[in-house]
């Protein structure tokens, strides 16, 4: 038998099943019905095995895509969406940029979980340097507890050692404080790592779990603008004030778009001053004025583009990647096993990345399933395209 034929079915049927399920979002029962109608005698269990078993090559390709994607641009975009695993609520973290989109379904969506994803399978450690103690202050850990933790200064701990130490220090619970200390130590240790690409700039919405993970945190203007759309003024005068302010808001956004194309230090200074003027506006419409003040509080994150012009002003790429997961969930409500969840994340990563790179997902899957390997890996294409564009 040819090397590509393993079991009862060849690479054609296997590639078709994977493509129908992950590219066309066809459910397993419907795939079975389709194959039965065209004369293929195959069981539902065999379809499930094709989708989840003996796919180590694809898992490896996902890992390589993620590593190359992290290196490809000086920023990363992130978002999350809900997921279901065997009746339990999970979360799918999505990281992406121009060249790739990677999916990771996890039980939580806190900072530590996001760091687990960014560690690319490396062991998590905790470092208590100056940065860690500064982060504790940012996370509102009281001075009393910071002093108690001073004995850990300039030390690095494994995950097991760290939790044992904190159990001794926090004898009477203090679950929230302990969580903040763990996050601070984990972030500081992540920033010190040299054996993986460390994300220095992260673009996201304003969700709390995304803050402080990277040195630079940029916020999405589209997300901020949506907060103004949530205002539903009844009084005509208030409606006029809102419409007039939104015209100025999006005009300013347009100026930032032009700045990204042609960065200039003098223009950056002018835009910073204009931001302060715009978001110091008092309209007399109380809810609008409160919203304007909240936008002003996020000045540093919203104007990150003035010092890093390569960063997009919106997080649409991550939102579109999240939408692909939502469409998948509409068809198949949940995965049942850990193996199935991992397979789902892997194929979504490969297919969405192939789409961004202009590669036929079916041809790519067929090339790997049949063990031909004539097509270059997606990771290699990312590396080549990013080097050509100068990222």
Q: Are residues 265 and 349 in the same domain?
A: no
Residue 223: how many CB atoms within 10 A of its CB? 17
Q: How many CB atoms lie within 10 A of CB 25?
A: 15
- Are 80 and 64 contained in the same domain? no
Is residue 139 within 8 Å of residue 178, measured between CB atoms?
Answer: no
Q: How many domains does the chain have?
A: 3
C-alpha span between 252 and 25 (Å, rounded): 40
Is the residue at 283 inside a domain?
yes
Is the domain of 110 the same as that of 124?
Answer: yes
Q: Are residues 367 and 261 in the same domain?
A: no
pLDDT computed for residue 340 by the predictor: 94
CB contact burial 184-221 (16+ within 10 A = b; e otherwise): bbbbbbbbeeeeebebebbbbbbeebbbbbbebbbbbb
In a domain, 3, yes or no: no
Listed residues 249, 272, 307: the one ending a domain: 307
The total number of residues shown for the chain amounts to 391
Taking CA atoms, 356 is separated from 69, 203, 317, 351, 381, in Å, by: 12, 19, 10, 9, 11
Distance CA 76, CA 69 (A): 9
Both 235 and 303 in one domain: the answer is: yes
User: Is there a domain that residue 255 lies in?
Assistant: yes
Could you tell me if 139 and 46 lie in one domain?
no
Query: What residue numbers bound the domain in which 191 lies?
Result: 76-210
- Residues 203 and 225 grouped into a single domain: no
Q: Is residue 192 a part of any domain in this protein?
A: yes
Model confidence over 321-342: pLDDT tens digits?
A: 999 999 999 998 899 999 999 9
15, 119: one domain: no
- Say yes or no: 38 and 60 in one domain: yes
pLDDT at 114 over 90: yes
Residue 353 has pLDDT above 90, yes or no: yes
First to last CA, the chain: 45
Answer whether 211's CB lies under 8 Å from 139's CB.
no
**88 and 180 part of one domain:** yes
Last residue of a domain, one of 191, 210, 229: 210
**Does a structural domain hold residue 299?**
yes
Say if 289 falls within a structural domain.
yes
pLDDT digits (tens, 9 = 90+) for 130-184: 999 999 999 999 998 899 888 888 899 998 999 888 888 887 667 888 889 999 9
Please check whether residue 326 lies inside any domain of the structure. no
Asked if 59 and 99 sit in the same domain, the reply is no
Determine, yes or no, domain membership for 126.
Answer: yes
In this predicted model, what pLDDT tens digit does every residue of 186-217 receive, in sequence order? 999 999 998 899 999 999 999 999 999 999 99
Last residue of a domain, which of 178, 210, 242? 210
Q: pLDDT of 55-81, one tens digit each?
A: 999 999 999 999 999 999 999 999 999
Task: Determine the Cα–Cα distance for residues 200 and 182; give it in Å rounded to an integer.
Answer: 20
Both 102 and 228 in one domain: the answer is no
């Amino acid at each position: 038998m040819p090397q590509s034929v393993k079991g009862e079915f060849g690479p054609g049927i296997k590639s078709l099943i994977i493509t129908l399920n992950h590219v066309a979002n066809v459910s397993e029962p419907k795939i079975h019905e389709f194959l039965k109608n065209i004369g293929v005698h195959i069981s539902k269990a065999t379809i499930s095995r094709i989708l989840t078993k003996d796919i180590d090559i694809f898992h490896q390709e996902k890992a390589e895509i993620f590593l190359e994607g992290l290196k490809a641009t000086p920023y990363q975009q992130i978002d999350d969406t809900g997921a279901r695993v065997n009746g339990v609520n999970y979360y799918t973290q999505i990281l992406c940029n121009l060249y790739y989109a990677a999916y990771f379904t996890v039980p939580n969506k806190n900072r530590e979980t996001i760091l687990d994803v960014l560690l690319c399978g490396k062991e998590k450690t905790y470092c208590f340097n100056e940065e860690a103690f500064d982060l504790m202050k940012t996370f509102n850990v009281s001075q009393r507890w910071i002093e108690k933790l001073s004995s850990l200064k300039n030390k690095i701990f494994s995950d097991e050692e760290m939790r044992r130490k904190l159990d001794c220090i926090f004898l009477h619970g203090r679950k929230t404080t302990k969580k903040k200390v763990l996050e601070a130590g984990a972030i500081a240790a992540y920033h010190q790592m040299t054996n993986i690409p460390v994300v220095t700039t992260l673009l996201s919405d304003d969700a709390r779990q995304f803050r402080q993970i990277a040195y630079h945190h940029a916020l999405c203007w589209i997300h901020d603008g949506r907060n103004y759309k949530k205002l539903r003024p009844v009084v005509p005068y208030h409606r006029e004030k809102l419409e007039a302010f939104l015209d100025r808001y999006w005009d300013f956004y347009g100026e930032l778009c032009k700045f990204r194309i042609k960065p200039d230090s003098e223009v950056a200074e002018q835009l910073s001053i204009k931001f302060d003027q715009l978001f110091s506006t008092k309209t007399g419409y109380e809810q609008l004025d409160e919203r304007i003040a909240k936008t002003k509080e996020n000045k540093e994150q919203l104007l990150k583009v003035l010092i890093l012009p390569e960063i997009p002003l919106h997080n649409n790429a991550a939102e579109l990647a999240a939408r692909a997961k939502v469409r998948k969930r509409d068809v198949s409500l949940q995965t049942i096993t850990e193996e199935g969840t991992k397979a789902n994340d892997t194929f979504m990563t490969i297919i969405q990345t192939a789409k961004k790179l202009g590669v036929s997902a079916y041809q790519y899957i067929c090339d790997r399933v049949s063990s031909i390997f004539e097509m270059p890996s997606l990771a290699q294409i990312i590396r080549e395209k990013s080097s050509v564009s100068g990222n």
